[in-house]
Structure 1
């Protein structure tokens, strides 16, 4: 049974009640639009193809992002970074329901963001939105008549991967200024180049609550084996543990640190490392060098020493060979010497 009633606002409210279905209602500006909607819905009910969009209409985008983060993303190691993106997206899509967001809105979002940030950032944001919609459709059983609105929209082209390595004389200048800067930034730079570890594997980046729940993810004294010249990492970025072999220089750097029975070997937070590194590179007159580039340098040197792909993967912790390949920026001049 279908009814149409005019409301005090002048809009027309259509209602459909039928056995086997939840009551459906929607408001329109004209009576003709209400009648058309009733015909469409009743036809689908007659053909047993009707699916309600009520849940999609009620689920607001900001709530959907928040619920998705809580249910799916809080345990990820990059949760802090994802939280920042989620908070931004909640503001951008505030006031819209899942049903409101269509292909055109996603295209407008893409164009708007490309005016503000790089394409790689927009790719990550669009991917996050797409995954949220997929999760809502699969886990929350929210019906979207046109499917995931992000899927048909092309993502910005991938940016060129960084291949920054030390230029001639830069390593010496960097280490010299790091020594003058004092602190432990010098030792961390040496260790990064020698062992190829991530910053989050060398120093603690977790807050007290995360440490209490998951423990440390960085190098700890109790996992340092001085006899075997190895350091065991219990929890790495890709979710797996690994044992890192240490060169004699890397081992010596660790032995020079104030010894404790347990806990982090380096008493400095990850964000402080980044700040110190930026100051040192500026004083050394070195441009466009990031701390993570030291991992590129270390990985490339392992290949230049003749190690095979699987051997390097075991040391650096790259989970798949495709991601490892982009770090192998071998110097043409070194390859030329081998061909001579």
Structure 2
């Protein structure tokens, strides 16, 4: 049953909790009018739905419904209720409200108190729903303004279970708080992305964060030259912040906003998953590189050793650069790889791996009688730069240092190592992750079969 036109009077006169109910259960008509769905509130009260919400709805019907006149008070209520037949269930609804919502009526009447102190300042105190807040201000006007904000927040929490973000709080404030309160340490990529988000949308107020802001952010990133994979990662990090705000800080934040923006990328023709690389260096390309470095007197880093060690171990360039003397077990011929890359655990993911054949022969001379310090004494960025520069000078196309890891992983399988053994060498946790680095062809299968036959 649809009854009585409801006029939205604007935020200034429309209480916060009324506005929530208004948004949830009112339907907007052609001329900006809204109509109460009476059967909803009656059925909701009978089924034991949130008592405060039903009471707020009742108050909304009484206080914000105009039936033939703008009369208020009890006369306005009687005029309104006379519109309903007794069979509508309104009597049951009112009886339930009178019996079950009296405590909430008392809470509504529980106003803030203001006390003038001997110092001339004003003390404001708010008690609602078992929560107490108090603060001291220079003037009574400031105290009242603060109390009104606190009351609105508490009513909001009572109605939906979450607190409204502070009026002037921005995305910048939220991200900074997220960084400050996070227990986990962030990797370089996440840190850089959060800084970028602050620059791009940090000025946006949390209450104004919406789908249009996300649309403009995506457009801005595209203009910057970022691809779909990068933008998808940006939005995933933003989603982590929003989830933290809602579930950890109990803020009424649109938690799915970033994820929905991420979903929109595919409709824009952007790829959100990187294509799997299958590039491996050929023997001829490796010989070219070794010769190039041997003939270059300005080459400080022994890049030939770096490449051969990477091929023998399957380690990433950062893992190689971080190896310390104290991480090596000479008796067992193993090495501790610190902070090995993991999608869920960025730090403390240490792993002991064996140094097989060529790997131990390469490493042993660097140990000598040393007890501590970096094994190779190189920086990850320097190794990467030297490799890229050599490939460019030799005209070797589309080859990266990380591609050595692909070749090493495939070679482990070609030499007959089982999946668990290869996974230990490379640090992969699942076959799906390991398979990306595995390039086994028909000839490799024939070779493996021949080894089994002669074993």
Tell me which residue corresponds to 2:272: 157
Bigger fraction of residues in helix: 2
How far is 1:286 from its partner?
1.3
Structure 2 regions of 5+ residues with no counterpart? 1-9, 18-31, 33-51, 58-157, 266-270, 343-347, 451-455
Residue among 357, 360, 367 paired with 1:248: 357
Is the 1:57–1:100 Cα contact (8 Å) retained in structure 2?
no
Moved more, 64-73 or 81-90: 64-73
Distance in 2 between residues matched to 1:73 and 1:286, nearest whole Å:
44
Residue among 89, 92, 97 paired with 2:200: 92
Residue among 191, 197, 206 paired with 2:309: 191
Is the aligned partner of 1:235 residue 2:339?
Answer: yes
Is the aligned partner of 1:319 residue 2:319?
Answer: no
Distance in 1 between residues matched to 2:53 and 2:209, nearest whole Å:
25
How far is 1:114 from its partner?
3.1
Distance in 1 between residues matched to 2:388 and 2:183, nearest whole Å:
30
Structure 1 regions of 5+ residues with no counterpart? 1-10, 19-32, 34-41, 204-217
Is the aligned partner of 1:180 residue 2:295?
Answer: yes
Q: Using a 3 Å threshold, how does the CA distance of structure 1 residues 278 and 73 change in structure 2: closer, same or farther?
A: farther
Q: Map 1:76-91; keep pairs closer than 5 Å.
A: 76=186, 78=187, 80-91=188-199
How far is 1:43 from its partner?
7.5
Distance in 1 between residues matched to 2:355 and 2:160, nearest whole Å:
63
Is the aligned partner of 1:101 residue 2:205?
Answer: no
CA displacement 1:130-183 (0-9 Å, x = unmatched): 111111111111113x54212323144312122211135112112222333442
Tell me which residue corresponds to 2:326: 222
TM (normalized to structure 1)?
0.76
Q: Using a 3 Å threshold, how does the CA distance of structure 1 residues 333 and 104 change in structure 2: closer, same or farther?
A: farther
Moved more, 228-237 or 86-95: 228-237
Q: Map 1:270-309; keep pairs closer than 5 Å.
A: 270-309=380-419
Tell me which residue corresponds to 1:23: none
RMSD (Å) for aligned C-alpha atoms: 3.1
Is the 1:44–1:50 Cα contact (8 Å) retained in structure 2?
no
Partner of 2:336, secondary structure, is strand
Residue among 60, 65, 68 paired with 2:175: 65
Tell me which residue corresponds to 1:46: 56
Q: Higher relative contact order at CA 8 Å, sep ≥6: structure 1 or structure 2?
A: 1
Is the aligned partner of 1:123 residue 2:232?
Answer: yes
Distance in 2 between residues matched to 1:242 and 1:12, nearest whole Å:
58
Partner of 2:335, secondary structure, is strand
Partner of 1:197, secondary structure, is coil
Q: Using a 3 Å threshold, how does the CA distance of structure 1 residues 161 and 170 change in structure 2: closer, same or farther?
A: same
Is the 2:163–2:250 Cα contact (8 Å) retained in structure 1?
no
Partner of 1:231, secondary structure, is strand
TM (normalized to structure 2)?
0.58
Is the 2:236–2:259 Cα contact (8 Å) retained in structure 1?
no
